Amino acid sequence: MLRYADVLLMAAEAAVEKSTPDLGTALEYVNMIRNRAKNTTYVQNVDGTGSAANYEIELYTSFPSQDFARKAVRFERRLEMGMEGHRLFDLRRWGIAQSVINTYIQNEAEDIYLSDYGRYGTYQEKHDLFPIPINAIDQSGGVLTQNPGY
């Protein structure tokens, strides 16, 4: 089910990625989400002495460039949709899955000496697509061809 924030972030991303970017609209949508988060009741410390949050949420004053706006929208998607299963699909759509995931694997393998990170290799470009089942290729009469790397 789509939430209002999901729709706003999709619209903000679309505004940034247009051939003529609409940074004002993207700024407005991202700030609507940040404003809602800013005005939410924060989780309190266990002893009840104030906010447990160690960060402050502020609105963006402007998006000076398309690149800045793109980074802001992507960051906001990462925060807003954390633990909802969207991240891999976002990384694939943006064309940065390979570099982001391989950097993560490399960093985790260095920091956690007992981990199995890297044991299964690295993320490859072919992982952006699923293999087409061979029976579908056979039944297509030569119309379908296998995705690269499979």
pTM above 0.85, yes or no: no
Q: What are phi and psi of 10, to 5 degrees?
A: -65, -40
pLDDT at 144: 96
- Residue in 64, 78, 66 with CA at minimum distance from that of residue 33: 78
CA dist 63 to 8, 16, 72, 77, Å? 16, 10, 8, 16
Indicate the residue type of 46.
V
pLDDT at 95: 95
Structural domains in the chain, sorted by start:
1-42+53-94 (1.25.40.900)
Question: How would you write the pLDDT of the chain (150 residues) with one tens digit per residue?
Answer: 678 889 999 999 999 999 999 999 999 999 999 999 888 887 888 887 877 777 788 999 999 999 999 999 999 999 999 999 999 999 999 999 999 999 988 887 776 665 565 566 788 999 999 999 999 999 999 999 999 999
CA distance 72 to 16: 10
